[in-house]
Structure 1
Amino acid sequence: MELGKIERLLDRYDEGETSIAEEKLLREYFLSEDVPEHLRSYQLMFRFSASQAEEKLENKPKVVSKRNWYSWTSIAAILIVALGIFFYNDSSRMLNDNGLGTISDEELALQKTKETLHMVAQIMNEGKSDLVYLKEFNNTKNKIIQID
């Protein structure tokens, strides 16, 4: 086979545009012994691919079937539910209606309500203090937009 045709086929091979028949021609050419020195790297590549094609996989990898995995996960889920039911301590049955946090003294109830609302107001004000940064960001953004 002429060298110019081989080089054109190699260019097309590098671009991924060769057909299977053309690749077979290249493989046959490079498996022969009379290859020019500047094409020796292609000879190594085609010889390696030929040797890999002949090699057989002796130890097949062990594949866990999805069916087997599904059965084990369902068994584990059943065990978790069973243990949860067995060890579940229903403390709501032990509570009686008298001790549910009701305060009978009106002054004490008013004081506790004020403390709770004061705590909520502090938490809300902490979130509000962070909005100062957002306002500064908006001012800077407006300055940039006005420059353009």
Structure 2
Amino acid sequence: MELKEIKILLEKYETGESSLAEEKMLRKYFRNHQVPEELKAYQGIFAFSEVEKEKKSTVNGTLPEPVKSYKHLWTGIAASIILLVGIFLFQDDSSEMQDSELGTIQNEEEALQKSMEALKMVSKLMNESKQDLIYLKEFNKTKDKFLKTE
């Protein structure tokens, strides 16, 4: 096999595009002791793979029998029972109220008054939040002193 062909196969090997047959040809070539000096590093790689391929595992392949535990089974059953008891004991009885009574006001002036109160409350909360923005502006001024924006 020519040195040029070996270099092409090595490039394919390094990029992961070589086939098993090509890798077998490389292993066979590097088993030969007449390897050019520039390819000595590859000889070690392929020699190592040959040695490791021949090794057999000495570890016993059997695993101990797993201990059967019903702990998880009983935990699941207990959680299910607690869930069911909680659903039945803490069931909301507000469904007895009629839907027509919830949140409706028959008098138009009273409805207007309640709406105005709600809007005033929202306005008050918005104004309080707006006052907090002063601190944000001060923070931005200080930040801009240290960080120059372009």
TM-score, with length taken from structure 1: 0.48
Where is the helix percentage greater, Structure 1 or Structure 2? 1
TM-score, with length taken from structure 2: 0.47
